Structure 1
Amino acid sequence: MSIENLPLAAHGLFTCQAFYNIELEPVVYYYYVHLTVQVPISKPNLLVKDVSPVEGSTMWMHCWVENGTGPIQYVWHLETQNGNNTIFTQSNSSFISVTNINRNYTGWYRCVASNPVNNKTSDRLWLDVMFGPDVPQLDVTPYRKTEQGYSVLETETVSLSCQAQSNPASQYVWSYNDSKVTTGRQFTIVKILRMQTGNYTCLAKNSYLNTSSSTTISLTVYYPPDDSISCTLEPALNHTSLRLFCSWPGGFPSPSLRWTGDLIQPAQPLNSTAILLPSEKLTSNNTVFTCLGSHPTIAQLTECSTHTYIPPAEPVCFANATNDKKYLILSCSWNGGAPKALVWWEGPSGQSKGGEEDFNTLILHYGSVQSGKPYICYAKHPLLVQPKTCGFTFGQCSFSPYSVNTLTSNLRYSR
């Protein structure tokens, strides 16, 4: 028996009967044949719940085969966007469900169905996973990172770029201090000014999913000081110390200032605009101190200098009487020097005069002058640990309205 174009209905049990003629009775033999008809697999159709699912959702796939003898094995293949081919999953079921899908599932899918007869592959199907936008990444050129954000120099051209992963691609909106300024991935500010310091926000939007995400950075514009650097020195602590001042007003951030010089000890703060040097550390005369200033907007160091020196001569004491011979005027001077010296008088019984710079005068009534007692002028400069002195000790004398020389001849001058 021959069966052409074997139909599926031919599947089953076939019986062959053989008869033998024997005198007494016929003999019958039976032969059984079980015919299994296997149907080749037809080309599968790949069905997906949603060809544009949202990241994090659940999707299902169905590899539908119209004809084919089971059991049938199913293998799903994924060709990613970068061209890698991998087996996504395999099963003896034509239906699979995938939970919490992510963007890496985007790509071309094929389903291969196979049985003992043959195997067939479906057409490929593009699965496009929708996601985003992610939190935008902002880049600033030129790049200067600070604790608060980013810094740029005034009059520089600044480029801000924004990138947020998204499918479909993000749309970008830029804001400055909450006010919209432009759109697009790139935002360029030509010759930025100090008043453009503030917060810059990039908002990335996914119009398909109606979602958005944003990032804000703080941009600080640095600008140089408007004035010049200046140095000054002055006495301190009653002329027992020297105080150095360095000033460079204006600019942002504030300039960095530090003093240099032979007498500046390493222990002094590097960024001190005012430092105090005690007299015992000031052993050199005519010493130059230099203040160095630096600022991010200025390439070179800026400096100013000042110097201190002791008055070139010695303190001078002299006495004069008034025309009416009622008063004796004791004067003391120590001119010159930087800073100016402090001069003061000390006499007996509280006959003293507090300190003044360069010149000091002590006025005494003739009757109050004490003979044999010293009247000393002290002159103190911060470069000296001990003050210099000059003064008078008066002897017994009488004063007449007409004899100033009598007073002068009885003065003993000491230095």
Structure 2
Amino acid sequence: MRVPGWSPAALLLAACLWRLPPGRGAAGTEEVIIGEAGESVVLLCRNVSERADEVDWFHGDPGTVPPLFSSNAKLPQDARLSLVDNSSLHILALRPQDEGNYTCKDVLNEIVREHRVQLLVASGPSNVSVSISPAAALPNGTVYVDKRDTVMFSCTGSSHPEPTMAWTFQLPSAAPETFTEVNGSSTVYTLQNLSSRFQGNYSCTARNPLSGRSRTSTKELLVYYPPLSVPRCWAQTAQVGLMLQLFCNWPGGYPHPVLQWTEEGRDLENSSWVVNATGTGDTHVETLSSSRLFHGKVFKCVGSHILKQEEEEPTCTVQIKAPLLATEPLKTCFVGGTVSLTCQVMESNPSARISWLRNVSQPEVEIQSGGRYLVTQEGSVSNLTIQNCSHNADEGYYVCKAENPVGLKEAYVSLTVKKPVNIVGVVGTVVVLLLLGLLVIAGIILYYNPLLCLQGSIFRNQDSNDVFVLVDSDGEEEEEEEEGQKEEATGKSNVHRVTALVNGNSTQAGYGHHFTESDISERHSELSTEEVESEERPATQRQILPFLDEMGGTVGGS
């Protein structure tokens, strides 16, 4: 039999409810039927004979409440209520207030039979909502949080009776995992120290314990974190072609930051050529042609991250510079020897490429390592080592060239190749010249001051008889004075004094001259009257000094 207004799904639900086991309701209840709010339900009146005279339904116990519906159609009609097979009660659009105990009473041949049914009305769950805070949403609905924050997860839902709330977490390409379950219309939990392993789908499921119905709300969560450092900039030369590459690196964040290269000191509105390139990633590279570069130009990289909301965005700058060289302009090598020419780049950004050339024989051919040549470079210093130097092949000018995309710089080194010098001969010549110089100095001293040598000879020969004559006793001095006074009249005193000094044929050390008696007599006749009459001096001085003063020139010149 098809009931008008009933769908096949409603009939199937009624058939299932009929088969619920009895005894689940209150005392005296023979059957429990569960319906959902807004849906339809059929309450069966079992064991009713088709010949029953009358069937009445009560929302409660008969005798305490008036009949709800009667087959004799004596009661007011309710559009939601109707009989099925002249016995079962059909209720449309269930309401929560429809819940309760129902009694079916039929009368046959004045015999009354009753059948009790408990109706439970379930609603929900509905309005299930997931909230994650503090968080922000992307255009596709995905939410992201800062890993440094303490994140609170909450879920709410409405249901009758109260639902069971369960949280599940699912990683990409993995099965969901339930990590908490509570009874109630809401649930809250927090997470701290989040990491990338907490990224995934968070689902909250509310289940009605009466009807078994459930509803789920899911949020995809991303864990973001900004870079901890500041951007780093540098410049280098492209491997292919003389092009400038600007590098901006800002690692350590998720998702990747946005990096933008700009040109400092340029009016972006009025300039015909500016660098204004943007890229997403930890490193952004911008390649520029060398034709638009000049020494001292400054470029700036501006970094931005979805979590960085500061007023001043982190930046870094790079200033490009043409090479600046320092060399030894003059170098010398002996034939067959080895020499190293050094060239150092004092300033360059990006790093310059250093090469060695010959400006005379091969001005465009770069010198490579091999044979007698060895080219090495350590840092910014390049060395050209030439072995077995040759005057014809190696002497001349060498060019050190440093080049980067900003400019070119050249420096010249002059190499002179000489024959080896005889060191032993040079040293011998120097020694001979020194000895000759000493001899000349000694000769000059002897020529102009022979007394110095004589005095040195006297002191070096303190054991000789001459010393005893010069250092005489007082008695002898007195005797000599008396004798001198006697001899002054005859003019012979000087002869005796000189004779006593020279002591016969003795030779004075240091002078190399031998005095004879004839020499002394001849010199005595030449002495002046002033020297003879000098009585003011001591005896020894009067005896020796006049003679030495006069004879010094003759002795020194011999």
**Category of TM-score, reference length = shorter chain:** 0.5 to 0.7
Match of 2:283 in 1: 273
Asked if the contact 1:317–1:333 (Cα under 8 Å) also holds between the matched residues in 2, the reply is no
> Residues 358-397 of structure 1: matches in 2 within 5 Å?
358-364=380-386, 365-367=388-390, 370=393, 375-384=398-407, 387-391=408-412
| Structure 2 CA distance for partners of 1:322 and 1:370, relative to 1, 3 Å | closer
2:134 pairs with 1:145: no
Q: 2:35 aligns with which of 53, 56, 81?
A: 53
Asked if the contact 1:242–1:277 (Cα under 8 Å) also holds between the matched residues in 2, the reply is yes
CA distance in 1: counterparts of 2:256 and 2:384, whole angstroms: 48
2:390 partner SS: helix
Match of 1:197 in 2: 198
Asked if the contact 2:35–2:94 (Cα under 8 Å) also holds between the matched residues in 1, the reply is no
Match of 2:95 in 1: 106
Q: 1:293 aligns with which of 269, 292, 303?
A: 303
Asked if the contact 1:344–1:355 (Cα under 8 Å) also holds between the matched residues in 2, the reply is no
Asked if the contact 1:132–1:167 (Cα under 8 Å) also holds between the matched residues in 2, the reply is yes
Could you list the runs of 5+ residues in structure 2 that have no partner in the other structure?
Answer: 1-30, 44-56, 58-67, 99-117, 171-176, 265-272, 370-374, 423-558
CA distance in 2: counterparts of 1:355 and 1:279, whole angstroms: 30
Shift of 1:51: 7.5
Match of 1:400 in 2: 419
1:299 partner SS: coil
Between Structure 1 and Structure 2, the one with more strand by share is 1
Match of 2:225 in 1: 223
Q: Cα RMSD (Å) of the superposition?
A: 4.5
TM-score scaled by structure 2? 0.46
- Write out per-residue CA displacement over residues 303-325 of structure 1, whole angstroms, 9 at most, x where no aligned residue: 222322224x5665734234665
CA distance in 1: counterparts of 2:230 and 2:163, whole angstroms: 49
The answer to which structure, 1 or 2, has the higher relative contact order (CA under 8 A, 6+ apart) is 1
- Write out per-residue CA displacement over residues 133-189 of structure 1, whole angstroms, 9 at most, x where no aligned residue: 359432333342245832112343433332445433322123456252463513142
2:368 pairs with 1:352: yes
Match of 1:411 in 2: none
* % identity of equivalent residues: 21
| Structure 2 CA distance for partners of 1:286 and 1:239, relative to 1, 3 Å | farther
Match of 2:160 in 1: 167
Letter aligned with residue 35 of structure 2: P
Asked if the contact 2:146–2:224 (Cα under 8 Å) also holds between the matched residues in 1, the reply is yes
Match of 1:29 in 2: none
Letter aligned with residue 418 of structure 2: F
Asked if the contact 2:322–2:404 (Cα under 8 Å) also holds between the matched residues in 1, the reply is yes
2:122 partner SS: coil
Asked if the contact 2:163–2:206 (Cα under 8 Å) also holds between the matched residues in 1, the reply is yes
State how many pairs are aligned: 316
| Structure 2 CA distance for partners of 1:266 and 1:305, relative to 1, 3 Å | closer
- Write out per-residue CA displacement over residues 17-71 of structure 1, whole angstroms, 9 at most, x where no aligned residue: xxxxxxxxxxxxxxxxxxxxxxxxxxxxxxxx98852466653798326575xxx
CA distance in 1: counterparts of 2:241 and 2:381, whole angstroms: 15
CA distance in 2: counterparts of 1:148 and 1:319, whole angstroms: 74
1:336 partner SS: strand
Match of 2:354 in 1: 343
Shift of 1:270: 5.7
TM-score scaled by structure 1? 0.59
CA distance in 1: counterparts of 2:275 and 2:376, whole angstroms: 30
CA distance in 2: counterparts of 1:334 and 1:389, whole angstroms: 11
Letter aligned with residue 287 of structure 1: K
Shift of 1:344: 0.3
Q: 2:261 aligns with which of 237, 259, 262?
A: 259
Could you list the runs of 5+ residues in structure 1 that have no partner in the other structure?
Answer: 1-48, 77-87, 110-125, 404-415
2:314 partner SS: strand
